Each structure stands twice: as structure tokens, then as C-alpha cells.
Chain A
Amino acid sequence: EIVLTQSPGTLSLSPGERATLSCRASQSVSSSYLAWYQQKPGQAPRLLIYGASSRATGIPDRFSGSGSGTDFTLTISRLEPEDFAVYYCQQGGTFGQGTKVEIK
């Protein structure tokens, strides 16, 4: 069973700063199955990135994904106020535990 470990648990940043979120798999996974989601309080998760690096429809280009094998990264180049949320990585039926991006 694959385990996805996200770090850090919480990221405290200011608007305009760069956010770098990590997702590490317990064994090598196919990049084509690696997705990232954003979830705001009281809302359903929203797809951001699929295939490790492809942005979903309507997702701003400040969001980017990268990585392969066991190490994947979601980068938000310049945080906007609406980006403060929890982010999850996913591979098939496995989700990471989430990274909360909060306002510093």
C-alpha cells in the first residue's frame, strides 16, 4: 500500500510570498496518477493539478506542479488571499494528510 506524506503540516506565509508544498510517496508512483487538490473551509476539494504537472481547467498559472518517482511538489508562485487553504496530494485511492497554508 502506498503512503503519501505531505510536508510541512502547516505553512505560514504572507500574501505575495512563494509557497512550496511537498508530497513524498512511500514507493515510486506513476506521475500520471499524481493529482493535487485545494480545499477551503466548508467546501469540497477542487482539482488543481493532474498528471503531476498539468493544471486543471481554470486554474491560474501561479499554481505549478512538478516531480517524479517518490517526490512531488506543488508551488504557488505568489500567494493571493484566496489561496490560503488546505492542499492534498492524491495517487489513486490514497491521499496525503494535507498541508494547510495559512496567513502569517
Chain B
Amino acid sequence: SQELEQSPQSLIVQEGKNLTINCTSSKTLYGLYWYKQKYGEGLIFLMMLQKGGEEKSHEKITAKLDEKKQQSSLHITASQPSHAGIYLCGAPQRTSGTYKYIFGTGTRLKVLA
């Protein structure tokens, strides 16, 4: 079955620093989704990438999809304490003609003020 591996598993950065989180799939990607979860809360949709080479930005967060590498990266510029939380990548996995969503194990980000 398809798996999504995220790296790093956890990250502590000083406020103002840039950082990158990677998500690598073991199988072909049919789109890649990024979510953020604040501690103790639900998941918030950040971005969806559907085509190879696609890049999207929201405020200071940019995500790219490399279809050939079956990988997506999430980049945060000039991190702030509000960026802290767990970042999860998700992807639809094709199974028997239908899809289900699978998720990576998450990257726990802490931003020090």
C-alpha cells in the first residue's frame, strides 16, 4: 500500500528563520494536500497541489509538487510563533477503482520567540 513519509518528524526553529518540510510518497501521487493542526485542535486545510511542478503560496507558506520524485515540500519563510503546530501531508490513494486519503505521520513544528 502507499505510504507517505514526512521529514523531519519534528523541528524547532527561532522566530524569523526559514524552514522546509518534505513529504515523499512510495507510489504515484494523484494530488497532494497539506494540512495544519494546532495542538489539541482539528485539521486546517492549507493547500492542494495537483500537477507536477505546481507551486502554491498562502501568506508565508509555499508548497511545491515534484511528480517525478513523488515528493512535495512545504516552505515557511520568516517563521512566526503562529506557524507552530503539526503539519500533515495527505494524498488520495487509488484502491480498487476508488480513492481513500492517507496521511503522513506529521511534522511537529515549534517556533521560539
The answer to whether A and B interact is no
Q: Please report A residues at the B interface, Cβ cutoff 8 Å.
A: none
Q: Please report B residues at the A interface, Cβ cutoff 8 Å.
A: none
